[in-house]
Structure 1
Amino acid sequence: MTYLSKTITDEPDWYDKDLSDFDDLQSSDEDAIVEKQLIHSKQKTSIIENNYHGKDYPFDLWYLIAMYIAPEDIGRFALICHKTNQIVNSVSFWISLFRKYNKIEAKRLTRLLVREHLSIVRTYVIKSLYQTYPLFQERFDKTNVIQKEPHFLLSSRCIRIWYSKRPTQRDLYNYYFEFRFDNIQQSKQQDIQIQAISSIFQANNQSIIDKDSYVLHLISSNFVLIGPYMGMVLSQITLNVSSDYRYHKLKMWFDSSRSCSQKSKYNNSVVIIDPILCLRIYKWDGFGAVALVHDNTQLPNIEAAGIELASGRRQKIAYRKKTTYLLSSPYTTCTKSVSPTMQAMFEYYNNTNYGYSEALCYQLCGQIYAYEQCGCVNPILWNGRKFYVSSMNRVIFAPLCEYDNKCYKEAIGKLLTSSPLMNSYCSECLQECVIKNFIIQTSSLSLPGEWEMEKIKKFVENSTIPKPTNWSRTWQDEIRKNYLTINVVRETSTVENSTQSTTMGVVDLFSNVGGQTGLWIGISLLSIMELIEMLYRLIRNEFHIIRRKIQANRQ
């Protein structure tokens, strides 16, 4: 048996070395592998031992390196060593990442996030990265190409067909097929999760799409002329792989009867769409209301602060008011003034007397930058399409971009991640001096009861409310879908006011300055008088000593 000897030498710390004192890691790894053999009587084994132990860099150095790590490389960075893993599992790391890629939200939420647990902060920052970081946005757009297989639509009746061209660089086409089951209960028995229809799709088609309908949305790179199959039944449907094995191919047979035969009676009643780049199914069954409690001087932000209330229940909304007052300049940078850009938008609301809003200011500066880059604005913020452009010196009523247009998304993402652009376009977006919040608590009960159904039925039948054709058979379901009661109550009459005050006023400042000045002047005067007295005593003492010497010499 051979033994491996180790030599221990004193090695200086990393911060005491020069660049020439560091070894090459690759050459060190090659020289550090030593192979030794253990010879026994029955078997032979070989052990490879590595004498290279690596460099132990301090925690602060790893933390500085972590500031330059891209979001997609965080996992690999955490696996380097124990210290990097500890940095990634810290709140400060995720807060710095949030400030780097989402500057607008970081200004408002950093003070709140630092108090939260690591899991909450990490989850919120990762969600925000999927909205602002371009690489994560691209990953999110590529997911769920085939959302759900459409075989459950068999025996449903095609109500409407339409298509449109997508505003993209390559030629892509949208195909929409609206299906409805003749027996409504049959569609309810399908226990599937179907993606909710988008807000833009609702805004453009909510007046024509029937309730309890399914919309099959297809995206293809080829244009296919579709025949008039409205009113026919979907008898067969197949979803296979295309011939190039890259995409999917959808094939649908339509028939005039409900029999699901293998082949349609009409050979021409077949729709083939190939390739399928995206397949989604929307369920048009969202019923309810959106409520929002806000101050009369606040612009209603229904998209962000609205409360969704389901039908078939009695909803109760209890609120209490909280107001925060901040000091104006020079103590803080808050403002109350409404900019010309915001005032132009308020004119779109018939000159309603709304006040300044920081969130609205950031939305408008994003719309202005998107308009200058793309010639249109974000369609989700459709109410912010009228604004004042300082570079043109006029008010613009901008057109809305198509929802699938990536230009406005890329423009807004570029604005949010660029400090010079934020300072140029959003310099007027300061904090509000008066912040009014309504703390909401919601509760609900299941309504209406069985004893109320007949009364509601008589009320509907005697009113001008439009009723479905099968009202006599489905009136109970229709009432439960459309019945909704909302009670808005004030939880307390007490308004919680938080006022920011100065720790030192003008009077306190002069009083403190005067007191400090008088104290130091008094101390200085006393010191001068004591110094004069000391000099006088020293001179007098020397005079007496000289006088005694003179008298002694005369004697």
Structure 2
Amino acid sequence: MPKKGHRKRLKFRAGDVCSESVSVADFADADPAVVKSGRVKKAVVNAVEKEVKSLCGLEASQGAVDEVLTSAVGAHVGALESSEEAEPEEDTQSKAAHKKKNKRRKENSEDSDGHEYPVDIWLVLSSYIRPEDVCTFSLLCRNAWIVTCTAAFWSRLYKRHYRLDADLPLRLQPDSVEKMRCLRARVIRSLFHLYEPFTERVSQVPPLPEATPTTLLNSKCLLFWVQKLSGARPEPLWEFNFKLLKQEFYKNGRAKVLSRPRQYEDVHKNPDSDCSMLQVTTLNFIFTPVVMGMTLALFTLNVSTDMRHHRVRLVFQDSPLPRGRKRAEQGGTQVVLDPVHSVRLMDWWHPQYPFSSHG
């Protein structure tokens, strides 16, 4: 019986090892990370000895084989020791070379950021830009943005889409568009009469929005007027119009704003910029308080009490709400329109938006 605690060792047979079992890691050019001890296993030595005997016919000359194995093992150990000694120096040199390469690559990348093409080339390319892609084109580079500021760009855009049979208001006819002042605003308004994708976008707007618009909050009421609509409908229709100015009190100071060239300031003038009109049509006249100069704090659109129409509720306050502060439940001037036939929100470029006489 084997003694207690004695482990049975597995016997290694030299016949079980063939030439394919001897790997490169067993020789002098082995990787120090793989073979850290620098010692060759006895089983490997025996396998190598048998292979050398069979290949060289040295079965009888045992001493010669021992000399070969001794020299091979010595060379293997020496290579490992020399590689371990040279490893820190090689690592230092490789790190220094890597830093130099990264620095050189960074300098080359800074020097070759790209080619800057003149404004004339971007002006030629702008002749093939669709109206809906003007914003994307202006964001390509600074020179492309400068092109979109020029009067030539907006004049060419108008001429490309103008038709003689187009039903344009007098203020959007070619004679008026030739003026430099408010040229950009006139061309944009004209495109909603001339350019089919824009006209379809306006015609597909439903009479009642699917959700309550929230973009009007903190907008200042510039004008407010009521007019009676004449039509074939049996019941009278009254139109309540609120001209609102979107106020931006919380601009990000870190954002970099490009200054527009001075020679094109008149081209981009627009008295109705950031303005929109809320048009609410009711079935009868409703008395409303004066809210001009006040800020819209609440806008709700829900079903009327008769379940057949809608109800609009507007709450105006004297000052805009600070960011993060909720509106008080009580206070402010309230405007309730009920029953409501339609609600339309029109930006300054809409064909039915009241055109400013200064533009």
- TM-score, shorter chain, exceeding 0.5: no
Point out the structure with max Rg over C-alpha: 2
Greater strand content: 1
What is the TM-score normalised by the length of structure 2? 0.31
What is the TM-score normalised by the length of structure 1? 0.22
